[in-house]
Homo-oligomer: A and B are copies of this chain.
C-alpha cells in the first residue's frame, strides 16, 4: 500500500484520449481534435488498486491528475495523527495543484481507480497555447474553490445530522451527474473516511446514519450502499432547515 506511488505509472500511454468516456466532464476531455492531440502527447495513465497512495503531502509537485474511473481522497494530516479529508474525487475531477512546488495534501485511491497524469510544466505550456484548455481549467479551479467554501460552512456551522445528510445528498448528486442512480447510492469510502471528511468521529457518523435510518429517511442494505427514501426531507436537513 505504501509502495512507490509511481510504480504503476509507467508509460502505458494510450494512442488517443478517446479511451475515456468523460465527455466534457473532465477539463481535458472534449477539447476538440487539435487540443486533444496536444494533450494526448503529454499524457500518462495508470490503473491503481484500492488504497494506493498517489502522492503524499509535502512531495514535490510535478504532475496533475484526472480521475477517469474510480474514486480518490485528498487528505491533510496533523502531527499527532488527526486527519482532515479535503476532497473526494470521482471521474472527471482533477487534482494535484500544489503551492510552491509541493503538494499540500496526500492523494489515495479508495477503490480501484484509473488516472490520467500530466506533467504540470508541460500542461502549463500547453495552457499558453490552448485557450480552451485554459478556460476549462480556470473554470474548474473556481468551481473547486466554491466547493471548498461550501465545505467550510458545513464544517464550521452544521450539526452531525446535517453534515451526514449533506454528504449523502452530495454523493447522490454526483452519482447522478455520472449517470448512476441517485436513489441507491454507492458509498465507496469507509466510515473513518466519512468522519475525517465531515469533522466527526466514526462513532458519531455511525450513530447518525442509524438515526436517519430509524427516521425512515434512508435504508442501508450494506455499509457501502445507502438507499435514499426521502430525498426532499434529506435535502431539507442538508440545507439546515431541520425537519423537527
Residues of A within 8 A of B (CB): 74, 76, 78-80, 82-84, 86-87, 97-99, 104-105, 128, 131, 134, 137-138, 141-146, 148-153, 155-157, 196, 198-199, 239-241
Write out the residue numbers on chain B whose beta carbons fall within 8 Å of the beta carbon of A82: 157, 240
- Nearest B residue to A149, CB-CB: B86
Q: How far is the CA of A239 from the CA of B97 in the complex (A)?
A: 23
Complex-state Cα separation, A7 to B6, whole angstroms: 56
Q: How many copies does the complex hold?
A: 2
Cβ B150 vs Cβ A152 within 8 A: no
Closest to A141 in B: B141
CB of A154, distance to nearest CB on chain B (Å):
9
Contacts A86-B149, A138-B141 supplied; 15 other A-B pairs, CB < 8 Å: A78-B157, A78-B239, A80-B240, A80-B241, A86-B153, A87-B149, A97-B146, A98-B146, A105-B149, A128-B131, A151-B152, A152-B152, A155-B156, A156-B196, A156-B199
| 4 closest Cβ pairs, A-B complex | A156-B199, A148-B148, A155-B155, A84-B153
Whether B199 and A145, one on each chain, are in contact in the complex, defined by CB atoms closer than 8 angstroms, is no
Nearest-neighbor residue (CB-CB) of A137 within chain B: B138
Q: Report the Cα distance A131→B84, complex, angstroms.
A: 35
* Residues in B neighbouring A86, C-beta threshold 8 A: 149, 152-153
A128 to chain B, nearest CB (A): 6
With A and B bound together, what is the CA distance between A145 and B99 in angstroms?
Answer: 9
Residues B83 and A157 in contact, CB atoms below 8 Å apart: yes
Contact partner, A104, options B78, B104, B149, B157, Cβ 8 Å: B149
